[in-house]
Homo-oligomer: A and B are copies of this chain.
Amino acid sequence: MKYVYLFSEGTGKMRELLGGKGANLAEMTNLGLPVPQGFTVSTEACTRYYEDGESINAEITAQIEEYLKKLEGITGKKFGDAANPLLVSVRSGSRASMPGMMDTILNLGLNDEVTEGLATLTNNPRFAYDSHRRFIQMFSDVVMELPKSRFEVIIDEMKKEKGVRLDVELDADDMKALVQRFKAFYKEQKGASFPEDPRAQLIEAVKAVFRSWNNPRAVTYRRMNDISSSWGTAVNVQSMVFGNMGEDSGTGVAFTRNPATGERKLYGEFLMNAQGEDVVAGIRTPQGIDRLASVMPEVYGQFTKIADTLEKHYRDMQDMEFTIEKGKLYMLQTRSGKRTAAAALKIAVDLVSEGMRTKEEAVLMVEPKQLDALLHPQFEPAALNAAQALTSGLPASPGAACGAICFTAEEAKALSKSGPVLLVRQETSPEDIEGMAAAQGILTARGGMTSHAAVVARGMGTCCVAGCSEISVSEAGKTLTCNGKVLKQGDFMSIDGSTGKVYVGKLPTIEAQISGDFDVFMGWADELRTLKIRTNADTPADAAKAVEFGAEGIGLCRTEHMFFEADRIMPFREMIASETTEQRKKALEKIEDMQRADFEGIFAAMDGLPVTIRFLDPPLHEFLPQDEDGMKELAGAMGFTLERMRSIVNSLHEINPMLGNRGVRLAVMYPEIAEMQTRAVINGAINAQRKGVKVLPEIMIPLVCEAKELKLVKDIVVSTAEAVMAAEGVKIDYLVGTMIEVPRAALTADEIAKEAEFFSFGTNDLTQMAYALSRDDAGPVLETYFAAKIFESDPTARFDRAGTGKLVKMAVELGRAARPDIKLGVCGEHGGDPSSIEFFHGVGLAYVSCSPFRVPIARLAAAQAAVKSKE
């Protein structure tokens, strides 16, 4: 088995085997560009390393040795030879670019003896000793977990002793002394001498790269970016060139276009007489890349030509690293450059107009989730980089928010009049809805990606961090405690709903802004996609917002959400607490007027687009009052004693409300609810139609697990609708369908399809049932499972193809077999997740539905799925 490849043996297409960096080095070599040569230890070696219980076997060691010899042959230098030393850099490089992995180690191959040789050879002892101390520092930090900062202390002591301020003021002897002090410190800390054998250094460095694949930062990054842990990382071993060999040397980084704006102009910076780490350290200020034209015109000319070649070759904006050693240019790396959302859009649009890319290709060049940055406020990047997070939770609804914290919905409403607020809750409930609407952001200690707070916040487009388990909230004490810090009402905090990070104090935000390229780009996405994108919207306002974002219908109108508001919740509670059909009908009458008006408004907002209205599906415990005051109020409204109300609330208590009496079960138990809702839908539609609106209502029955229950409720709907239409003398075309959100519904979808004109997959509940994991209680389990690498992603956020996906596929096949023209869609939270959308496209659904702010993301993801599936 071949585990090691010379750069000249690879190609740009071998990313999976060589990693992105290795493949690009191979490609640049093949293009004849000036690349310091080296070799790549493949990702398969990494996989093997883990299979062998985190050890590098003899076969791989032998191949590294063999390729080291080949590299010696190419460079004409010898590893560990003081007379003519080969020094190398060691870098990680996985298939996808992945921050959080191992840093670079430079100057590997140095020891006391080789350093002396280098000093002689270059006639530059300070350079040699400086290189050696840098190597010890990097190797200790990266390979041996002895932090760099511990060595900085020693440098500072040295500078104090010498009475100087800057590193450059230390001379060759100082550097030589530092090397010895570093080694002594290393031995004291590690109980063993610093490894002097260059070959041992190399193997340890390779192992460190492999280990870094599984460090916590890398694992978290992979999970957030859907990167499989099975890919592994490659290791690039490249012969060193030195930018710090004098004023005819230097190093720099450049982009072929501006990564912040997308402008087509070389963008970057360089430092003369420096190594790469100096640019990063920020002690000396680098110069703009334009300046290189005057400093070294020939090199600049060569570099701009190479940049142009690379961009044309890769047909994308490139991010390049280079070094100039004694006037000679070397390319150390090229890759597709990271860019802001605005830049990504501009570059994609420009590359098409420049004839470099097709629309299909351009559409694949923007990560759908990047669009969030255009639609929501963000923290200023500089402030964000400087800030230290207090803790983090789940990135439940994107955007950035900063405000005075408060602990109840009432306070949030009150305080919001005098400035921005963050609502902090243990978990939110429907009663908090007005406080949530008043807040800039929402932070909860409990609950997952589909918890109440998360779902409602996404619907509102409000930033939310959920399930932040390290914080402890005392509503009574009006305090929040986290990692020893206590914050009280009115203190400022900042939360980032795109990363889940939570900060103390005020971080400045920048507003969302949609550029002109947005419409062009999204137009292409719309041309290319076949999946329709609908929205989840419960009010006319939400519906209008979603249409602005390009929604092509409502896939989910949750009729119980219409009753979250304070002035509406009372009749809803009365309905739930009714003991007789008469009481219930009385409460339903009050509700009917509100619903009809809502539906009419929604139909008007969606003129000509389909509107799927889900019949009531309230988990009862979310709607009933649990405290004394609430019970008193409700008892008063219904003319009951408090005692009786308590007994009603008690009798409606369920041990597992997610598995209780809700959805279609309520309509079976109380047919008058389904009758009322049908009248409200049909009358609302008739009113809208009379005003010239084109209405396309679709009535959706939730939580069905058996065809007969759907038939029973459908019969009620149809007979009620017919009666209303007959009375009004108007004909409305409407559909009756069901959600497929209970596993048994998927398993018996053929029977259910006989009664249902459409299926809408409720993937939230389907996932909960398939995993036996409640969205409300998943927090501690998910944390444990991520840490144990059992789950690589959160199945409530990214749809599970391997398991739950089989239920969806089965239901699609059974449903189509029974009713070939059945309309199929998704209305779970997964409808806004790009990876999930790709799956739904693949199984041939007609549409996905997501919250309004996710509609553009879904449009783009659907286009990408369509393009990819053609490939």
> CB-CB < 8 A to A789: which residues of B?
708
> Do the beta carbons of A768 and B806 come within 8 Å of each other?
no
- Stretch in contact with the other chain, from A199-207, A338-346, A657-665, A690-698: A657-665
A655 at the interface (CB under 8 A from B): yes
> Do the beta carbons of B705 and A772 come within 8 Å of each other?
yes
Chain B: CB-nearest residue to A665? B781
> Do the beta carbons of B706 and A655 come within 8 Å of each other?
no
A790 at the interface (CB under 8 A from B): yes
> Do the beta carbons of B669 and A772 come within 8 Å of each other?
no
Chain A stretch 762-801: residues in CB contact (< 8 A) with chain B: 765, 768-774, 776-777, 780-781, 784-785, 788-791, 800
A668 at the interface (CB under 8 A from B): yes
Q: How many copies of this chain are found per oligomer? A: 2
> Do the beta carbons of A659 and B748 come within 8 Å of each other?
no
> Do the beta carbons of B744 and A790 come within 8 Å of each other?
no
Interface 1/0 per residue, A340-372 and B, CB below 8 Å: 000000000000000000000000000000000
The answer for the CA separation of A800 and B751 in the assembled complex, in Å, is 15
Chain A stretch 740-756: residues in CB contact (< 8 A) with chain B: 741-744, 747-748, 751
> Do the beta carbons of A656 and B705 come within 8 Å of each other?
no
A712 at the interface (CB under 8 A from B): yes
The answer for the CA separation of A705 and B744 in the assembled complex, in Å, is 17
Contact A772/B772 with A656-B659, A777-B654, A777-B656 known, Cβ cut-off 8 Å: no
Q: Which of B748, B772, B788 interacts with A803 by CB under 8 Å?
A: B748
> CB-CB < 8 A to A765: which residues of B?
772
Q: Which of B659, B712, B744, B781 interacts with A658 by CB under 8 Å?
A: B659
> Do the beta carbons of A660 and B712 come within 8 Å of each other?
no
> CB-CB < 8 A to A712: which residues of B?
788, 790
> CB-CB < 8 A to A748: which residues of B?
802-803
A602 at the interface (CB under 8 A from B): no
Interface 1/0 per residue, A582-626 and B, CB below 8 Å: 000000000000000000000000000000000000000100000
Q: Which of B742, B768, B806 interacts with A659 by CB under 8 Å?
A: B768
The answer for the CA separation of A789 and B715 in the assembled complex, in Å, is 14
The answer for the CA separation of A765 and B791 in the assembled complex, in Å, is 22
**28 A-B contacts, Cβ less than 8 Å apart?**
A654-B776, A655-B658, A655-B776, A655-B777, A656-B656, A656-B657, A657-B777, A658-B659, A658-B772, A659-B659, A659-B772, A660-B781, A661-B777, A661-B780, A705-B771, A705-B773, A705-B803, A706-B790, A709-B785, A709-B788, A742-B771, A743-B769, A743-B803, A744-B772, A744-B803, A747-B770, A747-B806, A769-B769
A: residues with CB less than 8 A from B are 621, 654-661, 665, 668-669, 703, 705-706, 708-709, 712, 741-744, 747-748, 751, 765, 768-774, 776-777, 780-781, 784-785, 788-791, 800, 802-804, 806-807
Knowing that A661-B781, A744-B803 are A-B contacts, what are 6 other residue pairs whose CB atoms are under 8 Å apart, sorted by A's residue number?
A: A656-B776, A659-B772, A705-B770, A741-B772, A744-B772, A747-B806
